[in-house]
């Protein structure tokens, strides 16, 4: 795999990315660099294209113009490139998307065994360790349907980590959770951030953003409106749209 050589080269590069759903222009000229170990928090009103953007990073959505390079590999129509990128990029979804017909342990070991060809025992050992890390080792033999929302989302994080990804994408990981369960998921994410994982999070949890993010990205109507470190972003928003959004989201 061709990497860009130096260590401080960005691990995710988006250059002039455009995407349309039919006539609807969802992403307009998106430019973004994510360095190794950086934590990016993407926020914005619903329909602003933030989920679409991070879903383009592992090709769950196809972009029609521009370039996306992840870990030195450009995303093209070549399936091998896409597969290579997906192996390095973990993703956590709003609705968890755990596999309901498999136990928690099987959810975790499935991809290592079938994609990475890890021996079963080794995969299970790693899965057990990761379940301990997200605080639910005792649930390994249960099925997802038997867990609470917060536990399911922690399993989903552990499942993504099982592939030892270099990058983690979070698509509104706490939006579908009951309020009392949000903290347990955010705690896991903060721990992950502290360990130096490269993270791109779409979230409205501004407390989390303030304490973890290196860079805040505000999107509206398919455009990146503002890109600033959190200190700057929260105290000195430049654009009117950002100000309005922040006033709405921070007022309660």
If the CB atoms of residues 101 and 129 are measured against another protein, the closer one turns out to be 101
**The token pair that represents 174 in the structure block:** 């706490």
Contact criterion met (CB below 8 Å) for 144 and 100: yes
Binding flags for another protein, 82-121, as an x/- string (CB under 8 A): -x--xx-xxx-x-x-xxxxx--------xx--xx------
Q: How far is the CB of 57 from another protein (least distance, A)?
A: 10
**The token pair that represents 83 in the structure block:** 């597969």
CA distance 91 to 120: 22
Q: How far is the CB of 96 from another protein (least distance, A)?
A: 8
CA angle 70, 201, 229 (to 5 degrees): 95
Q: How far is the CB of 63 from another protein (least distance, A)?
A: 16
Residue 163 contacts another protein per CB under 8 A: yes
Of the candidate residues 10, 135, 143, 187, the single one contacting another protein (CB under 8 A): 143
If the CB atoms of residues 11 and 163 are measured against another protein, the closer one turns out to be 163
CA distance 110 to 90: 14
**The token pair that represents 99 in the structure block:** 């596999």
* CA 31 to mean position of chain CA atoms: 17
The count of residues interacting with another protein (CB under 8 A) is: 27
Q: What is the total residue count of the chain?
A: 252
Q: How far is the CB of 58 from another protein (least distance, A)?
A: 6
- Nearest to 153, CA basis, from 135, 167, 129, 127: 135
> Tokens 């649930």 — which residue?
139
Residue 145 contacts another protein per CB under 8 A: yes
If the CB atoms of residues 162 and 215 are measured against another protein, the closer one turns out to be 162
Q: How far is the CB of 146 from another protein (least distance, A)?
A: 5
With H, G, I as helix, E, B as strand and everything else as coil, classify residue 223. Answer: strand
Give the binding site for another protein (CB under 8 A). Answer: 58-60, 83, 86-87, 89-91, 93, 95, 97-101, 110-111, 114-115, 143-146, 159-160, 163
């Amino acid at each position: 795999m061709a990497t860009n050589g130096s260590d401080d080269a960005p691990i995710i590069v988006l250059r002039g990315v455009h995407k349309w759903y039919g006539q609807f222009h969802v992403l307009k000229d998106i430019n973004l660099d994510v360095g190794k170990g950086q934590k990016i928090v993407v926020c914005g009103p619903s329909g602003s294209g933030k989920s679409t953007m991070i879903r383009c990073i592992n090709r769950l959505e196809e972009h029609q113009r521009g370039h996306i390079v992840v870990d030195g590999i450009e995303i093209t129509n070549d399936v091998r490139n896409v597969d290579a990128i997906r192996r390095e990029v973990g993703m956590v979804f709003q609705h968890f998307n755990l596999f309901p017909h498999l136990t928690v342990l099987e959810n975790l070991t499935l991809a290592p065994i079938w994609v990475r060809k890890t021996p079963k025992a080794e995969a299970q050992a790693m899965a057990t360790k990761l379940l301990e890390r997200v605080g639910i080792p005792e649930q390994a033999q249960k099925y997802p349907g038997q867990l609470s929302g917060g536990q399911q989302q922690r399993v989903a994080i552990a499942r993504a980590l099982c592939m030892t990804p270099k990058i983690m994408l979070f698509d509104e990981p706490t939006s579908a959770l009951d309020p009392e369960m949000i903290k347990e998921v955010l705690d896991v994410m903060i721990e992950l951030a502290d360990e130096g994982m490269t993270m791109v999070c779409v979230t409205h949890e501004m407390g989390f953003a303030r304490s973890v993010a290196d860079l805040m990205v505000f999107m509206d109507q398919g455009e990146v409106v503002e890109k600033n470190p959190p200190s700057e972003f929260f105290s000195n928003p430049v654009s009117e749209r950002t100000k309005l959004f922040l006033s709405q989201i921070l007022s309660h």
